[in-house]
C-alpha cells in the first residue's frame, strides 16, 4: 500500500532541545516538501527537495534543517534556534513535471514544553 | 511577489445552494494550480488540478488568466462538503490561507 508516513503523530520537546521529525514515502516520488501549518496562516513552506542530496530553503527555513540522503526519506530537524516551534508539520511528496499534485502525510504536532 | 490568495477564511452556505471558493494568483507565466481539501480528522488530499479540467465530487475550477483566478465552484452544496479548502500552486511556493467551508442542513 503506497503512501507517505510521518512519525511520530505527537511530539513534545523541552526548550533548547533539537528534535527530528520523520517523513518516509514509498511512492517513488522525486520531490519532497515540508510545510508548517498554523491557525489562520495556511501552509508555509519550510524546505523542499527535488532530488537526492539536494534541497532548498522555503519561505520560513530559519531554525530548521533537513537532509535527503535517500529518495524515500526527508527528515526535518527543528533546532533550538527556531523561536516558535510549536505547530503542526506536514510532509508532502510529488512527481516531477506539470500536472502532478502533492501527496500529504498525516502530520506531526510538535509542542514545546 | 508570487503568491496565491484566498480572500475568504470562512464561508457558510445552506445545503443545496451554490458555492464558490475564491482563489487569486499573482505571478506570471503559466501557473500550475490545484485545489486541496482537508475533511475533519483526515489528511490533506488533492481535489482538483487545473490541467485536467475534471469534475470531482461535483466541484469544478476554471483557470481565468484574464482575472488571474482559479475559483472552485459547485452548483449544489452538500453537508459532506464541509471542510478546509486550499488553493495551491505546484512546486516551491507557499499555499494560500485556506477557506473553511461549512454547509448547513
Dump pLDDT digits (tens) for A62-82: 999 999 999 999 999 999 888
Dump pLDDT digits (tens) for A12-58: 999 889 999 999 999 999 999 999 998 777 888 999 999 999 999 99
CB burial of residue B28 (10 Å; 0-12, 13-18, 19+): exposed
* Long-range contacts formed by B77-81: CB under 8 A, 24+ apart: B77/B13, B77/B14, B77/B15, B77/B16, B77/B17, B77/B18, B77/B19, B77/B101, B77/B103, B78/B15, B78/B103, B79/B15, B79/B103, B79/B104, B79/B105, B81/B19, B81/B57
Dump pLDDT digits (tens) for B7-28: 999 999 999 999 999 999 887 6
- The owner of cell 483557470 is B63
Dump pLDDT digits (tens) for A87-113: 999 999 998 765 678 999 999 999 998
pLDDT tops 70 at residue B1: no
Q: For residues A5 and A64, what is the distance between their CA atoms, to the nearest angstrom? A: 20
Percent helix, strand, coil in chain B, to 5, is 5, 45, 55
**pLDDT value of residue A98:** 59
Q: Sign of the CA dihedral B82, B88, B90, B92?
A: negative
Considering CB atoms only, which of A43, A44, A45 is closest to B92?
A45
Q: How many Cα atoms within 13 Å fall on the side-chain side of residue A3?
A: 9
Considering CB atoms only, which of A43, A99, A105 is closest to B95?
A43
* Average pLDDT of the residues of chain B: 88
Q: For residues A65 and A79, what is the distance between their CA atoms, to the nearest angstrom? A: 7
**Beta strands A54-57; A43-51: pairing state:** antiparallel
User: Which among A11, A23, A79, A86 is positioned nearest to A49, based on CA atoms?
Assistant: A23
Residue of A nearest to B50 (CA): A99
- Quote the cell numbers at residue A102: 502533492
Nearest-neighbour CA in chain B from A97: distance (Å): 9
Nearest-neighbour CA in chain B from A84: distance (Å): 18
Considering CB atoms only, which of A35, A59, A98 is closest to B32?
A98
Amino acid at each position: 500500500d503506497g503512501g507517505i508516513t510521518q512519525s511520530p503523530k505527537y511530539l513534545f520537546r523541552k526548550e533548547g532541545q533539537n528534535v527530528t521529525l520523520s517523513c518516509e514515502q514509498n511512492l517513488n516520488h522525486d520531490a519532497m516538501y515540508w510545510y508548517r501549518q498554523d491557525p489562520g496562516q495556511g501552509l508555509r513552506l519550510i524546505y523542499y527537495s527535488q532530488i537526492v542530496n539536494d534541497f532548498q530553503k522555503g519561505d520560513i527555513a530559519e531554525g530548521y534543517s533537513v537532509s535527503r540522503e535517500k529518495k524515500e526519506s526527508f527528515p526535518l530537524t527543528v533546532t533550538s534556534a527556531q523561536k516558535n516551534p510549536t505547530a503542526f508539520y506536514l510532509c508532502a511528496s510529488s512527481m516531477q513535471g506539470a500536472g502532478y499534485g502533492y501527496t500529504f502525510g498525516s502530520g506531526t504536532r510538535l509542542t514545546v514544553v | 511577489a508570487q503568491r496565491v490568495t484566498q480572500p475568504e477564511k470562512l464561508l457558510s452556505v445552506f445545503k443545496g445552494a451554490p458555492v464558490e471558493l475564491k482563489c487569486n494568483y499573482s505571478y506570471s507565466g503559466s501557473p500550475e494550480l490545484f485545489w486541496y481539501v482537508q475533511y475533519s480528522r483526515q489528511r490533506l488530499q488533492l481535489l482538483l488540478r487545473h490541467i485536467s479540467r475534471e469534475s470531482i465530487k461535483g466541484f469544478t475550477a476554471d483557470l481565468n488568466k484574464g482575472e488571474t483566478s482559479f475559483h472552485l465552484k459547485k452548483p449544489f452544496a452538500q453537508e459532506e462538503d464541509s471542510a478546509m479548502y486550499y488553493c495551491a500552486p505546484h512546486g516551491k511556493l507557499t499555499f494560500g490561507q485556506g477557506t473553511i467551508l461549512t454547509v448547513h442542513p
